[in-house]
């Protein structure tokens, strides 16, 4: 229970599917939700809890996600034998140390669905976009704004990036969202800490292993490379025309990290540039 409360304190807005042997269990307020939303039966014991066999994870998690809940899959990350070995190496182990370690392995929402043996078949999926939006107001030009967008369909791992000038009615953004309707929007994240700047985004991606080749050299995906400033030989500066788009990508990456999905999705290197229909900047360029 100490493990559960420690994890719950960090993910209080999330339903914890807590692995116990061959079962997932929900405790306390999550257990009540399991009874109300999933039709599970409350078990006897000191704490309110419900459970189900691990094979049913996909069915029950999907039901909650479709209803708008966040679901965290908590797995045992060591065996009892590993736990005993760890305890023996400690000077003064407590009863709290004599419990197998558990960690958050995945957080799923409507905008971060992936499909595996546990999550369910991909044939059951529908296109769901997670969209990050960065905005900078522009003076004149009818009180419009410049928008940077980045969105992903996590079921297939495709990133789309673009930046454009919009009117005060955000006509182009509305058109974009009609073509790619998001189920989840990232906008009011903490600046810098969660909604990264373009330079912080590029530095993070360059320092990671996501785009490293066999010789460990950095190999930017072509569509992402096109958004970089050619004058920066290190490739860590976004082109002025795409600063907002790369910043929006940074917000996506931060959120995917929080859901423990960034490694799985970034390493696919599926990036596509976006040219919203009717974009005035495209018309000026004759596109």
Residue 53: strand pairing partners = 23
pLDDT, tens digit only, all 287 positions of the chain:
999 999 999 999 999 999 999 999 999 999 999 999 999 999 998 999 999 999 999 999 999 999 999 999 999 999 999 999 999 999 999 999 999 999 999 999 999 988 765 665 544 556 889 999 999 988 765 678 999 999 999 989 999 999 999 998 999 999 999 999 999 999 878 888 999 999 999 999 999 999 998 888 999 999 999 999 999 988 899 999 999 999 999 999 999 999 999 999 999 999 999 876 654 444 334 34
Q: Measure the CA–CA gap between 211 and 234, rounded to whole angstroms.
A: 14
Note whether 2-108 and 129-284 share their fold: no
Q: For domain 129-284, which architecture applies?
A: 2-Layer Sandwich (3.30)
Domain ranges of the chain: 2-108, 129-284
The answer, as to whether pTM is greater than 0.85, is: yes
Which contacts of 227-236 are long-range, i.e. CB under 8 A and separated by 24 or more positions?
227/161, 227/273, 228/202, 234/206, 235/202, 235/206, 236/199, 236/202, 236/203, 236/206
Task: Specify the 3-state DSSP secondary structure of 50.
Answer: strand
Domain 2-108, CATH: 3.40.1170.10
Answer yes or no: are the C-beta atoms of 64 and 15 closer than 8 Å.
yes
Please provide residue 267's backbone torsions phi and psi, each rounded to the nearest 5 degrees.
Answer: -70, -10
Task: Specify the 3-state DSSP secondary structure of 99.
Answer: coil
Residues in the chain: 287
Q: Measure the CA–CA gap between 122 and 14, rounded to whole angstroms.
A: 24
Alpha helices of 39-192 — where are they, by DSSP H?
Answer: 57-66, 80-88, 171-179
């Amino acid at each position: 229970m100490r493990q559960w409360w420690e994890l719950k304190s960090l993910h209080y807005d999330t339903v914890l599917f807590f692995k116990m042997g061959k079962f997932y269990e929900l405790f306390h307020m999550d257990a009540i939700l399991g009874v109300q939303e999933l039709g599970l039966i409350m078990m006897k014991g000191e704490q309110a809890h419900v459970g189900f066999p691990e094979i049913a994870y996909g069915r029950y998690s999907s039901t909650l996600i479709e209803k708008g809940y966040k679901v965290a899959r908590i797995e045992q990350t060591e065996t009892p034998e590993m736990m005993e070995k760890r305890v023996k190496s400690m000077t003064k182990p407590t009863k709290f140390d004599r419990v197998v370690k558990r960690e958050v392995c995945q957080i799923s929402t409507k905008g971060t669905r992936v499909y595996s043996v546990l999550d369910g078949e991909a044939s059951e999926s529908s296109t769901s976009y997670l969209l990050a939006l960065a905005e900078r107001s522009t003076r004149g030009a009818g009180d419009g704004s410049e928008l940077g967008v980045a969105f992903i369909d996590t079921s297939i791992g495709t990133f789309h990036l673009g930046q454009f000038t919009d009117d005060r009615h955000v006509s182009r953004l509305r058109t974009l969202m009609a073509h790619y309707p998001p189920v989840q929007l990232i906008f009011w994240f903490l600046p810098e800490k969660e909604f990264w700047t373009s330079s912080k985004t590029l530095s993070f991606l360059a320092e990671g292993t996501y785009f490293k080749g066999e010789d460990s050299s950095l190999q930017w995906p072509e569509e992402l490379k096109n958004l970089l400033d050619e004058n920066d030989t290190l490739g860590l500066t976004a082109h002025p025309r795409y600063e907002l788009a790369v910043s929006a990508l940074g917000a996506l990456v931060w959120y995917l990290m929080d859901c423990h999905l960034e490694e799985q999705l970034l390493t696919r290197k599926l990036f596509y540039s976006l040219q919203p229909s009717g974009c005035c900047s495209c018309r000026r360029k004759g596109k």
